Every structure is written in C-alpha cells, then in structure tokens.
Amino acid sequence: MKTTDLNTFLEELTHPLKQEIMEVRQIILNTNRHLTEHIKWNAPSYCINGEDRITFNLHGTKQFRLIFHCGVKIKARKIKDKISSDKEQLLEWVADDRAVVQFSDMIEVMQKKRSVALLINEWIRLTT
C-alpha cells in the first residue's frame, strides 16, 4: 500500500479511540526505524523485511489491540517462553507464537508506552 493510501485510511478512520490509536502508532514507529507500515485486516500493520509482525485490531469501540505475530510466511514457533521484557505481563498469549496487548484509554497507552516499546524490539529480534 502506498503511503498516501495509508494516510487516507488513517484520516478517514472513525473510532472512539482514534487519538489513542494514533499515539500507539507513533510509539511503534518511534521504537524501530526498520518497521514499515501498511494496511492488513483493515488496520495499520507493521513489517520487518516485508513480513508482518505487529498489527492493530480495531474491532470494538471500548478498546483496541495490538496483535504480535510471526506473519504468514513463518512456520509456528514457540515465542511465548522467550519474551523476557514483559515484566508487567501485558501480553495475553493466544498461541505460542501470537500475543495481544489491549488498550482502552490514553492513560493506559501512556502507562504502557515504555513496556510496549521494549516488547516491540524484543518481538522483532526473536521473530526475525
């Protein structure tokens, strides 16, 4: 997807937590300069070397989630027991190679900011 398409998608996004979504987007983009951004599952998604690793889930109106995954090209791998930076236990594991972090308001976004940045970098390192 072209950057203009992504920007249009974000400008037209109607979600009660749009401000929070935009803040988490900036956290992701500021955390790892090698990540590229496109739309997947009708939401922003972030790739390393062309492979999806972190994708927003914008379903629902009271919260949104970041899905940490290994992309479609990678065979399932056990990441769950290798994450050491999740000291606050933000990750909710839905499989050995997929986890979710949920956000419900700006206070929560700001409280999780540093931990999410650590998780992003560790996730990228473990899945690349």
Position 72 scores a pLDDT of 65
| pTM strictly above 0.75 | yes
CB 63 within 8 A of CB 109: no
Question: The domain spanning residue 19 has which CATH number?
Answer: 3.90.1150
Domain count for the chain, please give it.
1
Position 83 scores a pLDDT of 87
Quote the domain boundaries for residue 63: 3-127
Residue pLDDT tens, the chain, 128 long:
445 588 888 889 999 999 999 999 999 999 999 999 999 888 999 999 889 999 999 998 999 999 999 876 555 677 888 888 888 999 999 988 899 999 999 999 999 999 999 999 999 999 88
